[in-house]
Structure 1
Amino acid sequence: MQNVFPAQYSTLSADALKNYLIQAYQLHPTTTCRLLIRNVSDTYILENGEQKYIFKIYRDAHRKRSEIEAEVELLNALKANGNNVSYPINDLTGKQIQQFNAIEGLRNGILFSFAAGKVIIDLEHKHLVKLGTDMAKLHQTTSVVQLKNTRPVFNFETTLFEPLSSLKPHFTEMPDEFDYLTQVADRVVKKFESFDTPKFGHGYCHYDFFPKNFHFDEQGAITFFDFDFAGKGFLINDLMSFLNHFFFHQLNHLISKEQAEADFDTFLNAYQLIRPLTADELKAIPYLGITFHIFFLKFFYDNYDDWSNAFLTPRYTKHRVGLIKKWEEMYCNF
């Protein structure tokens, strides 16, 4: 019998997963399973007449077992503290992480509770207030919780210096763009020298607080999910990632500059009812947007093979650098 040729990324059968998960979690036999998102982590939705679940399969190249265990720890702590999150579910033996021997090797997966409600892109005043207060309550937990397993750390080394070092070969034929990135990174570091960063809130950040990662139900309750990028850093990183929603909304001509500023202020004011921010923290939020975009440019570069798409063409790369320039023009004052 011929050996199976190695692969670096496979898509697990939804039908086989359905049968496995029905047995492992004693789900209703009519439960269906289908692939919802093929992305950083493959996401499947399971549903029957009464219940819905999300099953997420991680890639070993993106998240090692210890990091997944840390995510489980964090979500369990958030749930225990009353934060509304999509949380890991125990199987019949008490396990929260399943393991599969895929073509490329072992892959880990988690069955999550389904976040009730839906994504709301055009956020109204009531949504912004609820988001601000609940994000602050989330940070009350993530600022004190101590995890046994490690998660990524967000600092200038991991979001500026390491990414630029890794990306340098990619920019061989785009020297002007790379020069800009190195110069703007230096400006960010120098800017932070003027801030009283020891007084900044620190803890575990979600680092991807776009509306696609939280649902509002009909009663206005919010549930947060997709903590795939969660790591330690300044808590204002989460406020910065949400600011990106308004950045892209403006670029797509879906909101005016004045309304975007007013809406973000509404969110900030609600957040500070629970967790006041220092004046320097408020000033620093926009500058972390530069680190965010450079970090994700490296992420796209590192995961290009697995995503099997058009990311990282010269045209795409120049577009991403152009976004960073627009962010600087819109939010930063070096």
Structure 2
Amino acid sequence: MVNRYFPAVWSVLSGDALAEQVLSQYAFEVTPTCDLHTTSVNDTYHVRAGSSSYYLRVYVHGWRELHDIEAEVELLNHLHAHELPVAYPIATRDGGYVLPVHAYEGIRYAVLFSAAGGEIREENDHRSYMYGRLTGQIHVCADRIPRMSKRLHIDHGHLLDSPLRSVAPFLAHRPKDCDYLSDISRSLKARVDELLLKESPQYGICHGDLHWTNVHFQDDDAPVLFDFDCFGYGWRAYDLSVFGWHLGGWAWSKAEKANRTRRWNLFVRGYEEHRTLSGSEHEALKVFAPIRQIWRMGLHTAGSERWGRNWAKDEYFDQEIKYIKEWIDHYRVL
């Protein structure tokens, strides 16, 4: 039987309907409001109940399996129980955390999170150091949680193989660039394998997305980390590399390079107050930044059916590949 409705990739859920059908399952003292906050990899709604704020994440259909989301909830509850400053999941009146939503395109899942205190603040030296300290605390604390087998691994397949498959159709008219990305990925994989083992504590639970817009800072620069959607098992050096990769954006001026190096070093110094990196891990930090860039290209291209392709012009790929080459050359990665 032919469906009388046209197929959809993604639907925008009504905030009012979410308040009525999903938020009604929580023990709010006053009736909450629910407004769409952002649409990105997932959809986030700002929930207000009196003077209290929360954030409802509605995972996009097909992005995460139920067991992936349950593992994220388990990790955050573990970190929160150990009094680490993270945005943590809120339980329903029945004690559950993950609620199914029957959207037009299929089942999606919703989780309500506490609001992260503070706000996104400008990059500076002290905040870089404090962010690193919190990351070290989280890695050490995460090593105490029983192994969650049903969670993704942030390994070569996730960071390079799958992204390259997504990127390849977009570079069909640029075979030299496609070959370059394939060749450089093989070299980067080999370098990582020379430096690191897939064993604890070098390899373990990672946040997966430690850039500047996933952390809030209080007035005293105390950080609060949120958005663990990309968490999984991976090399800890990769987790730390994301911070350095994101610092300073695309800037390569002498001053910006100096800022990046100084703040990245401060981030690592803060981290090592809780877990000391090996010499090989220090070396691997800069190897993972171009890997992160390739992963991001894969994220963008894989999501193009939902986000559109207007951005996927030659200028975009010129910029991305140029960044990879400049990073590898400047930091002598290979």
- Whether these two folds match at TM > 0.5 is yes
Question: Structure 1's 249 and 315: CA in aligned 2 closer, same or farther, altered over 3 A?
Answer: closer
Query: Which residue number corresponds to residue 317 of structure 1?
Result: 317
Query: Which residue number corresponds to residue 185 of structure 2?
Result: 185
Question: Structure 1's 64 and 196: CA in aligned 2 closer, same or farther, altered over 3 A?
Answer: closer
Query: Which residue number corresponds to residue 25 of structure 2?
Result: 24
CA distance in 2, matches of 1:5, 1:256: 49
CA distance in 2, matches of 1:181, 1:197: 24
Query: Which residue number corresponds to residue 287 of structure 1?
Result: 287
Q: Shift of the alpha carbon at 1:80? A: 1.8
Runs of 4 or more consecutive aligned structure 1 residues displaced over 6 Å after TM superposition: none
CA distance in 1, matches of 2:331, 2:121: 24
Query: Which residue number corresponds to residue 37 of structure 1?
Result: 38
Higher deviation after alignment, 160-169 or 41-50 = 160-169
- Is the Cα contact below 8 Å between 1:85 and 1:115 reproduced in 2? yes
Question: Structure 1's 193 and 75: CA in aligned 2 closer, same or farther, altered over 3 A?
Answer: closer
Q: Deviations over 1:230-253 (max 9, x none)?
A: 1111111111000022241635x6
Query: Which residue number corresponds to residue 167 of structure 1?
Result: 167
- Is the Cα contact below 8 Å between 1:154 and 1:232 reproduced in 2? yes
Normalising by structure 2, we get a TM-score of 0.91
Task: In structure 2, list runs of 5 or more residues that go unmatched.
Answer: none
After superposition, residues 153-302 of structure 1 pair within 5 angstroms as 153-197=153-197, 201-248=202-249, 250-251=251-252, 256-302=256-302
Question: Structure 1's 12 and 284: CA in aligned 2 closer, same or farther, altered over 3 A?
Answer: same
Q: Deviations over 1:71-129 (max 9, x none)?
A: 1111112112222111111011111011111111111010000001001132242x222
- Is the Cα contact below 8 Å between 1:57 and 1:108 reproduced in 2? yes
- Is the Cα contact below 8 Å between 1:185 and 1:290 reproduced in 2? no
Task: Say which SS state the counterpart of residue 258 (structure 1) adopts.
Answer: helix
- Is the Cα contact below 8 Å between 1:46 and 1:53 reproduced in 2? yes
Normalising by structure 1, we get a TM-score of 0.91
Query: Which residue number corresponds to residue 142 of structure 1?
Result: 142
Q: Shift of the alpha carbon at 1:309? A: 5.2
Q: Shift of the alpha carbon at 1:22? A: 4.2
Structure 1 counterpart of 2:330, which letter?
M
Higher deviation after alignment, 297-306 or 187-196 = 187-196
Q: Shift of the alpha carbon at 1:254? A: 11
The percentage of aligned residue pairs carrying the same residue is 28
Question: Structure 1's 264 and 288: CA in aligned 2 closer, same or farther, altered over 3 A?
Answer: same
Structure 2 counterpart of 1:183, which letter?
D
**Residue 93 of structure 1 pairs with residue 94 of structure 2:** yes
Aligned residues: 331
Q: Shift of the alpha carbon at 1:196? A: 4.9
- Is the Cα contact below 8 Å between 1:247 and 1:327 reproduced in 2? no
Question: Structure 1's 333 and 147: CA in aligned 2 closer, same or farther, altered over 3 A?
Answer: closer
**Residue 109 of structure 1 pairs with residue 110 of structure 2:** yes
Task: Say which SS state the counterpart of residue 203 (structure 1) adopts.
Answer: strand
CA distance in 2, matches of 1:255, 1:44: 38
Task: Say which SS state the counterpart of residue 273 (structure 1) adopts.
Answer: coil
Query: Which residue number corresponds to residue 12 of structure 2?
Result: 11
